[in-house]
Every structure is written in structure tokens, then in C-alpha cells.
Amino acid sequence: MVKVNTTILLVLGLIGGMLAVSFASGAISHELGRQALKSVSQPDANPVHKFAEKPTSTPRKKAPPFVEERQILIKVYNRTHKAQKQSFQPRLPTSFSGVT
């Protein structure tokens, strides 16, 4: 007779049980999802084309104007250095060396 360790039997039993329960859970979930989606069907036509052909009743808004990076950097610098009495406008390079 072969002596079998009870710990190994317990571990194998637990693994087998987990596999069985996970398979059953997956099968039940699949069936529930299938039943839930039975009444759902694809649309007859692409709904995007319906909206593209109709003119909009409200005119499109203009895009906001771009703000220069220099002005943003000056505002940030002035906010971070509030302790100073005068606002300082840092000199920003107009071009970077080595970059064309």
C-alpha cells in the first residue's frame, strides 16, 4: 500500500473544488448574460449619418484664442514670487541654441 499524505489530499481536493466552482460560476454567468442580451439587436442603419446630414440649429462656437506661452510663464512666475513687491518679467530666450 502506498502511504498518502493527508495534506496533499486536502490541497488537491481544494484545488479541484475551486476549479469546479469557477467553471460552474462561469457557465451560470454566461447563460445569464446570454439571456439578458437576447432582446438586443443591431440598429438597421448607422445613426451617425442621421446626425451628420441635419444642419445644426445653433451655430458652432468659435474656438478660444490661443494664449502665448510667454504670457503664461510670466503669470506663473509672478504668482510664485508674490513676496516681491514688483512683478518681474523674466527674459525668455527667443530661440534655443542647437535647435533650428
pLDDT in tens, 50-67: 665 555 566 677 888 888
| 8 pLDDT tier (thresholds 50, 70, 90) | very high
Q: For the chain, what are the domain ranges?
A: 7-36
pTM of the prediction? Answer: 0.39
| CA distances from residue 45 to 14, 38, 42, 48 in whole angstroms, order as listed | 52, 20, 9, 9
Separation of first and last alpha carbons in the chain = 85
The C-alpha cell at 95 is 530661440
The C-alpha cell at 69 is 506661452
**Which residues have a Cβ under 8 Å from the Cβ of 74 and sit 6 or more positions away?**
89, 90
